[in-house]
A and B are shown apart, each in its own frame.
Chain A
Amino acid sequence: SQTIHQWPATLVQPVGSPLSLECTVEGTSNPNLYWYRQAAGRGLQLLFYSVGIGQISSEVPQNLSASRPQDRQFILSSKKLLLSDSGFYLCAWRHSGRASDNEQFFGPGTRLTVL
């Protein structure tokens, strides 16, 4: 069976500090990978998605970047955090190449607070 991991679970960082959130998927290969953010009182906003190693698409201009150094690893980064980067960050995956499997499966999330 497939599992998705995210760490850390919670993070408190000062403004201007760097960020690295990691997401890994087990039990599948070549998944599509996604980073979402849920800000306080808001819905789920898609930040980045990846259809393969080194292939990253950004949905919104922002202070964040993403990388996919390995097939099942997706990293969300920032060089200098802003207060507005606070939120609940979710990683998700779906089976690629299977048009009938449109469901995305989410990780447990990382709560980021920027002070």
Chain B
Amino acid sequence: DQQVKQNSPSLSVQEGRISILNCDYTNSMFDYFLWYKKYPAEGPTFLISISSIKDKNEDGRFTVFLNKSAKHLSLHIVPSQPGDSAVYFCAASFTSGTYKYIFGTGTRLKVLA
């Protein structure tokens, strides 16, 4: 049972354009969501997060949108840069107890110069 899904395994975007990565979840009890970026043979690095009490969070070129009714979140990267090429994982968690993450399967973003 995949509680967090990233249905697009890959995405290609032209440099300077917007990249939109999507993530869907099934458990309405999740109350905190995160995006991580991962390069090959390295550990994921934290990118941006959002609490379920918000519907948008911005940090520079990165914006995360949360639609609780649709159980959907998205990551927007504007403008996209070649250095953004990586695998992006969304994760859902609970802000209590062990703070376990449930990760999606990842989306490989390729930004074309």
Contacts and interface: CB of A to CB of B under 8 A. Distances in A.
Interface residues of B, number: 25
Given A43-B104, A51-B98, A102 B93 contact: yes
A49 B98 contact: yes
A21 B82 CA distance: 34
A57 interface: yes
A102 B49 contact: yes
A44 B99 contact: no
A42 B105 contact: yes
Interface stretch (B13-21, B37-45, B62-70): B37-45
B44 to A, nearest CB: 5
Interface in A74-106: 88, 90, 92, 94, 99, 102-106
Contacts of B101: 34, 44, 46, 104
Interface residues of A, number: 26
A115 B81 CA distance: 39
B25 interface: no
A65 interface: no
B27 to A, nearest CB: 15
B34 interface: yes
Contacts of B46: 103-105
21 contacts: A34-B100, A43-B89, A43-B104, A43-B106, A44-B89, A44-B91, A44-B101, A44-B103, A44-B106, A45-B103, A46-B100, A49-B100, A94-B99, A102-B34, A102-B95, A103-B46, A104-B99, A106-B45, A108-B42, A109-B42, A111-B41
Interface of A: 32, 34, 36, 42-46, 49, 51, 57, 59, 88, 90, 92, 94, 99, 102-109, 111
